[in-house]
Amino acid sequence: MPLLVAMIASLAATGPAAAEDGYQLWMRYPASASQPAIEVARDTPMTRAAAAEVRRGLPTGAGPVLLALARDPRLQGLRLATAKLGDEGYSVQRITIDGRTVTLITGNSDRGLLYGAFALLRHLDTGGAIDTVALTAAPAVTLRVLNHWDNLDGVVERGYAGRSLWDWWSLPDVKDPRYTDYARANASLGINGTVLNNVNAKAVSLTAPYIAKAAALADVFRPYGIRVYLSARFSAPIELGGIKTADPRDPAVAAWWKAKADEIYRAIPDFGGFLVKANSEGQPGPRDYGASHADGANMLAAAVKPHHGIIMWRAFVYAETDPDDRAKQAYTEFKPLDGKFADNVIVQVKNGAIDFQPREPFHPLFGAMPKTPLMIEFQITKEYLGFASHLAYLGPLFEEVLDADTGVRRGETVASVVDGADDRHGISGMAGVANIGDSRDWSGSTFNQANWYAFGRLAWDPTLSSQTIAREWAAQTFGQDPAVIDAVVAIMAGSREAAVDYTGPLGLAHLMATGHHYGPGPWVSELARPEWNPVYYHRADRGGIGFDRTRTGSNAVAQYAPRVAKVYADPAKTPLEELLWFHHLPWDHQLSTGRTVWGELVHRYDRGIATVVDMRRQWEALKPRIDAKRWEKAASQLAVQEREARWWRDASLAYWMSINGLALPGGSAPPA
């Protein structure tokens, strides 16, 4: 049968003007002088998007390229190993067809072609050669989603990059071209879902006008493989439906949600489903009616089930019900529900048991609910790591959690729980709280773009190393000069540990100022609920510092598998990085480093500042090699970071000294 070969008309191949303001993210394709020959064996909106991207990004002389499904008759003689690619994987390789050598992008679906197109461009932009290209990959995780904490009034909760990208006022009529660039950037990483609105949701987001607006965004995103999801307010049947209750066991409530789901699917046939924050920080939920989280999730799951939708139900719950240790609450409440959730529910668990701190031990629910798919939630926006002003590359944080050994089964890591393979869950997922806004550079700083990038790459392949990802990103963002890449990667590599050091070393956490969480506030003790106060977390007194989570304290260690619990129960075995998370120790307790707890704390605060000073020095040296606009902005931000790292250290040490009455090690007097 003759093959339909569509030659795509040539357009300007250079993409948006090469503005040096960070708008292009990591997709700074070289301007191409000639038009590459691109053949697309199938004409669909998604293959058109894939081909357009290749045309935009392919360097001169790198053609021809053929995009064709694995089942394409022309490929049958080639014995390509495509079975393992699944629905979303791709293979990119050189083949000879009709006597001609071409670069083939193939997969079992249009999505494979789309992701293969981006993989080819990444390969070339990171220094790979076209004539030896051989790329094969399939995602380990099925749901790779961003969570936007965007309010309908344009304010982004915990957003530090301007206002929301979604212009709810002008939608659905005006489709800002930026929505397409957003979709391209996400597709380049394999992100395949986006939750448009804040988990602190307003019921109005489920009304007809907002459904139409969401549908308009879904139309823009669809060719890029991105599904739209909405955060749902659990009490919406009361607010919108005039029903007296939102009790999930009430048939009228279930019927309301079913009708609402049907209405949404009429407008958005591939709608992904709902994300729900229930009974947490004042949000309504099933517990208000004595029903369980599973009752609530399953009722919603039934509403979206006929449309193949899913429910992402968050386990981030805390209330005054367990005053003894906030870190224990999610486990206490969710572990007994293992096996009770419908098969289209996935429970979304933050990476740690408190709240996106610069460092937290992995959440004890990972490994503890084998009968339930758990998706991990990371925070890409840096609520607790200096907003957009501080440079902190989160790749090492994500990696550290994903690689953590749960101790439950041999070889089981958080990543292997999340990818669902061990328990053969039908769905698996990774969510990242977006750091995206309408600022020209999307994320408030060039280096924050790397956190979006790292999240996306790890959601596709949780085994990638943060170092590899940093190199990839640096090459695409700053060019292929190895000296630049080395320096940029070196700056990134130590940056998250520096933030840990100057804000809360040795496992201290939640010491930030009230409300906004920017800057130090370890002394805060007057807030209404005990677990809102930093003093609740560090428990410093004249005798020592740290939260005793062993048997003599809250016994949160018992929530981990015995093998892990044994390590965390013993201060001599607990890694120094997590020491004061689990133990309350005397200030003069001797550590393996040869220093006391107090000496080590001071040392690490100083080390954090030294790292930032070094990051600045390295960035200074890059001045001649980086475009002025991006260089200047990062340089100014690094100056802020150094000043504020000192502020953190000085304020924290002054406070600790007011409690322990000790001098600085080495005999120096406390600061005035």
Catalytic residue (one of 53, 110, 360, 383): 383
Q: How many angstroms from the chain centroid is the CA of residue 129?
A: 30
Q: State which of residues 28, 123, 158, 233 lies at the interface with ligand GCW (CB under 6 A).
A: 158
**Least distance (Å) from ligand GCW to the CB of residue 312?**
13
247 near ligand GCW, judged by CB under 6 A: no
**Least distance (Å) from ligand GCW to the CB of residue 482?**
40
Residue 472's contacts (CB-CB under 8 Å, 6 or more residues apart) are 122, 126, 453, 457
Residue with smaller CB distance to ligand GCW, 149 or 619: 149
Q: Which residues pair with 66 in a beta bridge?
A: 39, 104
Residue 2's contacts (CB-CB under 8 Å, 6 or more residues apart) are none
316 near ligand GCW, judged by CB under 6 A: yes
Phi/psi-derived region of residue 222, left when phi > 0, alpha when psi is between -120 and 50, beta in every other case: alpha
Interaction residues for ligand GCW, span 457-516 (CB under 6 A): none
How open is the CA angle 597-598-601, to the nearest 5 degrees? 85
CB of 608 closer than 8 Å to CB of 502? yes
Residue with smaller CB distance to ligand GCW, 581 or 631: 581
Rounded CA-CA distance 251/438 in Å is: 42
Handedness of CA 549, 553, 557, 559 (dihedral sign): negative
399 near ligand GCW, judged by CB under 6 A: no
List the alpha helices (DSSP H) in 359-441: 395-403, 414-418
CB of 133 closer than 8 Å to CB of 123? yes
Separation in Å, CA 427 to CA 101, 296, 342, 376, 437? 39, 19, 12, 12, 29
Residue whose entry in the numeric block shows the structure tokens 């596709």: 460
Separation in Å, CA 80 to CA 2, 47, 151? 21, 20, 47
**Least distance (Å) from ligand GCW to the CB of residue 435?**
14
Interaction residues for ligand GCW, span 363-392 (CB under 6 A): 383
DSSP calls for 158-187: T--SSS-S--TTTTTT---HHHHHHHHHHH
**Least distance (Å) from ligand GCW to the CB of residue 517?**
7
- DSSP letter at 38 equals E
Catalytic residue at 355?
yes
Please give the backbone phi and psi of residue 56, each rounded to the nearest 5 degrees, phi first: -65, -40
| Residue 193, Cβ density class (10 Å: 0-12 exposed, 13-18 middle, ≥19 buried) | buried
**Least distance (Å) from ligand GCW to the CB of residue 316?**
5
Q: How many residues bind ligand GCW (CB under 6 A)?
A: 10
Residue with smaller CB distance to ligand GCW, 51 or 347: 347
CB of 401 closer than 8 Å to CB of 472? no
Q: Which residues pair with 107 in a beta bridge?
A: 69
**Least distance (Å) from ligand GCW to the CB of residue 157?**
5
Rounded CA-CA distance 663/654 in Å is: 10
**Least distance (Å) from ligand GCW to the CB of residue 377?**
8
Residue with smaller CB distance to ligand GCW, 199 or 369: 199
Select from 418, 410, 400 the least CA-distant residue to 461.
Answer: 418
Cβ neighbours of 78 (radius 10 Å): 15
What ranges make up the beta strands (E) of 520-570?
Answer: 544-545
Residue with smaller CB distance to ligand GCW, 199 or 218: 199
DSSP calls for 589-603: -B-TTSSBHHHHHHH
SS3 at position 656: helix
Please give the backbone phi and psi of residue 519, each rounded to the nearest 5 degrees, phi first: 85, 170
Residue 101's contacts (CB-CB under 8 Å, 6 or more residues apart) are 94, 95
The contact mask relative to ligand GCW for 52-91 (x = CB under 6 A, - = no) is ----------------------------------------
157 near ligand GCW, judged by CB under 6 A: yes
Query: Which H/E stretch holds residue 565?
Result: helix 562-568
**Least distance (Å) from ligand GCW to the CB of residue 158?**
5
Catalytic residue at 20?
no
**Least distance (Å) from ligand GCW to the CB of residue 314?**
7
How open is the CA angle 111-112-118, to the nearest 5 degrees? 95
**Least distance (Å) from ligand GCW to the CB of residue 384?**
8
Residue whose entry in the numeric block shows the structure tokens 């599904």: 227
Residue whose entry in the numeric block shows the structure tokens 């999930």: 248
Residue with smaller CB distance to ligand GCW, 53 or 383: 383
Select from 393, 413, 404 the least CA-distant residue to 455.
Answer: 393
**Least distance (Å) from ligand GCW to the CB of residue 448?**
18
Residue whose entry in the numeric block shows the structure tokens 């013993």: 570
Residue with smaller CB distance to ligand GCW, 353 or 489: 353
Catalytic residue at 377?
no
Q: State which of residues 150, 325, 333, 355 lies at the interface with ligand GCW (CB under 6 A).
A: 355
Catalytic residue (one of 21, 43, 87, 281): 281
The contact mask relative to ligand GCW for 273-292 (x = CB under 6 A, - = no) is ----x---x-----------
Q: State which of residues 93, 180, 200, 292 lies at the interface with ligand GCW (CB under 6 A).
A: 200
Q: State which of residues 115, 149, 452, 587 lies at the interface with ligand GCW (CB under 6 A).
A: 149
Catalytic residue (one of 110, 181, 247, 355): 355
**Least distance (Å) from ligand GCW to the CB of residue 532?**
10
Q: State which of residues 68, 140, 185, 199 lies at the interface with ligand GCW (CB under 6 A).
A: 199
Separation in Å, CA 110 to CA 164, 180, 189, 427? 30, 18, 16, 21
Which two structure tokens, joined as six digits, stand for 615? 């990051």
Q: Which residue has the closest beta carbon to ligand GCW?
A: 355
270 near ligand GCW, judged by CB under 6 A: no
Active site residues: 281, 355, 383
Interacting residues with ligand GCW (CB under 6 A): 149, 157-158, 199-200, 277, 281, 316, 355, 383
